[in-house]
A and B are shown apart, each in its own frame.
Chain A
Amino acid sequence: MLQSSNLNKIYLDNASTSKPDEQALNKASEYYLSNFHNPSSLYKEGVNVSLFLDKIREKISSFFGLDYEVIFTSCGTESDNTVLDAYSKRGNIVISAGEHSAIYEKAKILREKGCDIRIAKLNKNGCVNEESLFSLVDENTKLVSVIHINNETGAVNDVDGLAKKCKEINKDVVFHADGVQSFLKADTHFKYVDLFSLSGHKIGAIKGVGALIKRKTLYLAPLIFGGGQERGRRSGTENVFGLADLYYAIENKGKIEENYIKVQTLKNVLLDGLSDKFSLISDENCSPYVVCFSAVGLKSEIILHLMEDEGILIGTGSACSKNSDSRVLKECGYSSDVLQGVLRVSFSPDNTIEEVEQAKIKLNACVEKLTKIMRK
């Protein structure tokens, strides 16, 4: 029933999912058609697929350094859940209030089961409040999990710096960063971060493929048991097509600095001349990939549909928590008037300045129109 022609639409909701990288998709199809074999098979074809998977591992590892290895998973949520589950048996877990639901909801379930879950407060822009975080870490803390780039505001947490300080409080703390919004969008050469979750569909690959990056020396209990794939750390036949797609997408999207500069320009274009009826939530310290603002006093979904009618797709906060006010922004201390009007524009390096200019003009027109209608 829900049909839309996407070909001519301006897509500015890249934080929820990215457009597929067409070249990568074609290369992956071509690869998979002749390399459909099970990577666990012992004949040459199977071994070749397995070698290709190693090549993909190497490619991903290159963004993290030699101390890390890659466990393939089905998505960011699986990676996040695996980490929390592995450290839920004893001690306590510290997370930030700005975590994605993949961490937050899992933590709530673990708390119901008796696990000591501690939640650190946020600053106004969505970053974790460092003082609050460090005050919760103690000698019994097993895991600290902090989102690298917040999916709703773009707030960047200095996860390596946080990991360092947490380990100064308790050297045995394992530090996990949810990097679903930061892989290929920020530097990920860490020294102190031990675990990192990423997802393929945020960077041009298909949905259903992700990875958990792990410090090599760390033992991590698996979440899924079975045939012993991923050296026993994550069973289940590897999603070869999805991983091949991820590999080729990384090849095309892996120029982190170049892309960052491009996207920073897009953010500047959007903000330069954006109606003052919008109140900005993302500040200058946030990642340029995500820009969050609120049409205070108006309902964001109406603006989303007005923009949709203009052929421009934007988001209203997190795509994973529709129909309710944002938990994260509420935690940042925003009032209900602000929360109801929250919009999120999120970029890909493939977006153009012209697209963003057009979006800005339409956003300004929509907010003017709606303010006029609703005000009486």
Chain B
Amino acid sequence: MEKVILVRYGEIFLKGKNRSFFVSLLKSNMEHALKDIPHKIIVMQTRYVITDFGDNYEAIIDKISKIFGIYSYSPAILIKTDIDAIYQTACDFANGISGTFKVETNRADKTFPYHSIDISREVGGRILSKNHNLKVDVKKPDHVVNIDIRESGKTMIFTEIIKGLGGLPVGCAGKGLLLLSGGIDSPVAGFMIAKRGMRINALHFHSYPYTGILAKEKVIKLANIVSTYSGKMTLHMVKLTKIQEAIHEKCDESFMITLMRRFMMRIAERISKENDYQAIITGESLGQVASQTIESMTSSNSVVSMPVLRPVVAFDKDDIIAISEKIGAFETSILPYEDCCTVFLPKNPQIKPKMEKILAEESKLDVEGLIADALSEVEVMEI
């Protein structure tokens, strides 16, 4: 008798011929997440079974609850297939429950000489005779005692089915570059895109010495939080200071944010091309602040040819905060350190910047020189 964890994948099951790719990718993501915990992962049809983890049950559950592509999981007992052992273990499971229940048996091993329905009936009867507070309800039971008799000569028994994060295994949908500020929205955007299977890397712009060392450390913490879901990532950190100083010195200050966003996008695209990233991901939400109007997005989109993904574009702030809290980023996101957008904040930023005016302001700057200068000292960190 051994305690195991049954892990089911959901959507990837539907992916036809690519299924084996998804299954092995998810397994390798699980292996990566569990690399510091002793364990074994056995691949079965439509599921994995994690075994040999000793006393590390809680640690394993914590990890797999953060892996995309897992539909649900169940703590289970694995026994050698034997009718008495099945009866005994299933009855033991029922000791901890109250209310209504039913027993469901799945007999994949057709050589086992008892029919599913007979096993369910017998186990149900035994449970009832020992637990007078339980009632059978086959339509809407509070609990289902599942008995899964596998071909391998092993049987798994479980009651609880815990919902996983869903989504697709990270790595099945290419690589992207997340523009990670110190705020609430961008970690959520990264989380959401990673959920659709994209491997996330991050780019942070800072304005040292106008922003402090702690602000940068905060971003590193946020990258670590996102990476608990999205797996390992590369964090690129670019100093935007000289660009901001140049805009401040030479341009109409109301265009500061508009122009800065265009520089950010250009730099993001250069870094992406160098690293084979296929998309830029931002935490922009339509109309949330002046720089996130459709005109501003048009302006920043127009300097890049890569796709720009904005997963929270249609989300209310409250909804973004709810996800931020769920993924454990909120507490860090609200730490009060200045980010690079607030340093040279104009009093009246352009809300609906006109393209010809943007271009006129931008023409006052040595765009290529400034970009080359910023790219000459990129800090790179593996998370």
> A: which residues have CB within 8 A of B?
1-2, 299, 301-302, 304-306, 308-309, 323, 373-374, 376
B270 to chain A, nearest CB (A): 26
Can you name 21 A-B residue pairings with CB atoms under 8 Å?
Answer: A1-B217, A1-B220, A2-B213, A2-B217, A301-B209, A301-B212, A302-B209, A302-B210, A304-B209, A305-B208, A305-B210, A305-B212, A306-B209, A308-B209, A309-B209, A323-B336, A373-B245, A373-B248, A373-B249, A374-B248, A376-B253
Give the chain B neighbours of A302 by CB distance below 8 A. Answer: 209-210
- In the bound complex, CA of A202 to CA of B210 (Å): 29
Complex contacts, B212 vs chain A, CB 8 Å: 301, 305
Shortest A369–chain B CB gap in Å is 10
Q: How far is the CA of A261 from the CA of B266 in the complex (A)?
A: 57
Contacts of A373 in B (CB 8 A): 245, 248-249
- Nearest first, the 6 A-B pairs at minimum CB distance are A305-B209, A306-B209, A302-B209, A302-B210, A323-B336, A301-B212
Residues of A within 8 A of B249 (CB): 373, 376
**A301 CA / B210 CA spacing, docked (Å):** 7
CB distance from A363 to the nearest CB of B (A): 14
Q: How far apart sit A305 and B253, CA to CA, in the bound complex (Å)? A: 24
B residues in contact with A308, CB < 8 Å: 209
Q: What is the chain B residue whose CB lies nearest that of A374?
A: B248
- Residues of chain A within 8 A (CB-CB) of B336 are 323
Closest to A306 in B: B209
On chain A, the residues within 8 Å of B209 by CB distance are: 301-302, 304-306, 308-309
Chain B neighbourhood of A376, CB < 8 A: 248-249, 253
A to B contact number (C-beta, < 8 Å): 27
Q: How large is the interface on B (under 10, 10 to 19, 20 to 34, 35 or more residues)?
A: 10 to 19
Kindly report which residue of chain A lies nearest to residue B244, judged by CB atoms. A373
Q: Which residue of A lies closest to B253 (CB)?
A: A376
Interface string of B192-235 (1 = CB under 8 A from A): 00000000000000001110110001001000000000000000
- CB proximity of B320 to chain A, nearest CB, Å: 24
Q: Tell me the dominant secondary structure on chain A's binding face.
A: helix
Complex interface: chain B residues within 8 A of A309 (CB): 209
How distant is the Cα of A374 from the Cα of B248 in the complex, in angstroms? 8
Nearest chain B residue, comparing its CB with the CB of A366 = B209
Complex CA–CA separation, A17 to B229 (angstroms): 40
A-facing residues in B11-57 (Cβ within 8 Å): none
How many angstroms between the C-alpha atoms of A306 and B336 in the bound complex? 21
| B124-163 at interface with A (beta carbon < 8 Å) | none
Chain A's closest residue to B344 (CB) is A374
Q: Which residues of A contact B253 (CB under 8 A)?
A: 376
Q: Give chain B nearest CB distance to A376 CB in angstroms.
A: 7
Q: Which of B238-288 contact A (CB under 8 A)?
A: 245, 248-249, 253
Complex CA–CA separation, A122 to B249 (angstroms): 41
- Closest CB in chain A relative to B76 CB, distance in Å: 41
List CB contacts (< 8 Å) of B335-362 with chain A.
Answer: 336-337
Task: Name the distance in Å between B243's Cβ and chain A's nearest Cβ.
Answer: 13
Task: Give Cα A373 to B337, complex, Å.
Answer: 22
Residues on A with beta carbons closer than 8 Å to the beta carbon of B220? 1
Closest chain B residue to A2, Cβ basis: B213
Q: How far is the CB of B297 from chain A (nearest CB, A)?
A: 28
Output the least CB separation between B381 and chain A (Å). Answer: 9
Closest residue to A301 on the B side, CB-wise?
B212
- A1, B381: Cα distance in complex, Å: 11
The listed residue with most B CB atoms (<10 A of its CB), out of A302, A304, A309, A374, is A302
Residues of A within 8 A of B245 (CB): 373
Chain A residue nearest to B208 (CB atoms) is A305
Closest CB in chain A relative to B260 CB, distance in Å = 15
Closest beta carbon of chain A to B228's beta carbon, Å? 18
Taking CB atoms, residues of chain B closer than 8 Å to A305 are: 208-210, 212-213
Contacts of A2 in B (CB 8 A): 213, 217
A304 to B208, CA, bound (A): 11
Minimum CB–CB distance from B257 to chain A (whole Å) comes to: 16
Q: From B208, B217, B245, name the one whose CB has the most chain A CB atoms within 10 angstroms.
A: B208
Bound-complex Cα distance A301 to B209 (A)? 8
In the bound complex, CA of A373 to CA of B336 (Å): 24
CA distance A308 to B209 in the complex (A): 9
Measured CA separation A304–B253 after assembly (Å)? 25
In the assembled complex, the Cα of A376 lies from the Cα of B210 at a distance in Å of 17
Tell me which residues across on chain B come within 8 A of A323, comparing CB atoms.
Answer: 336-337
Residues of A within 8 A of B208 (CB): 305
Given contacts A323-B336, A373-B249, 13 further A-B contacts (CB under 8 A): A2-B213, A299-B210, A301-B209, A301-B212, A302-B209, A305-B209, A305-B212, A305-B213, A306-B209, A308-B209, A373-B245, A376-B248, A376-B249
* CB-nearest residue of chain B to A373: B245
Nearest CB of chain B from residue A178's CB, rounded to whole Å: 27
A309 to B208, CA, bound (A): 10
Q: Nearest Cβ distance between residue A119 and chain B, in whole angstroms?
A: 26
In the bound complex, what is the Cα–Cα distance between A304 and B210 (angstroms)? 10
CB distance from A232 to the nearest CB of B (A): 41
Q: Which residues on B sit within 8 Å (CB–CB) of A374?
A: 248
Q: Which residues of A contact B248 (CB under 8 A)?
A: 373-374, 376
Which residues of the other chain, A, contact B210 by a CB distance below 8 angstroms? 299, 302, 305
State the Cβ distance, B366 to closest chain A Cβ, in Å.
17
Q: How far is the CA of A309 from the CA of B212 in the complex (A)?
A: 12
Q: Give the distance in Å from the alpha carbon of A376 to the alpha carbon of B244 in the complex.
A: 13
How close is B45's CB to chain A, nearest CB, in angstroms?
Answer: 45
Residue of A299, A301, A306, A374 with highest tally of chain B CB at under 10 A: A301
Q: How far is the CA of A373 from the CA of B209 in the complex (A)?
A: 13
Nearest-neighbor residue (CB-CB) of B212 within chain A = A301
Chain B residue contacts of A301, Cβ below 8 A: 209, 212
Nearest-CB residue, chain A, relative to B336: A323
Give chain B nearest CB distance to A192 CB in angstroms: 42
Nearest residue (CB) in A for B216 is A1
Minimal beta-carbon separation of A307 from chain B (angstroms): 9
Q: CA–CA, A70 to B212, complex, Å?
A: 41
Query: What is the CB-to-nearest-CB distance from A53 to chain B, in angstroms, rounded to a whole number?
Result: 39
Measured in the bound complex, the distance between the Cα atoms of B25 and A63 in whole Å is 71
Min Cβ gap B149→A in Å is 52
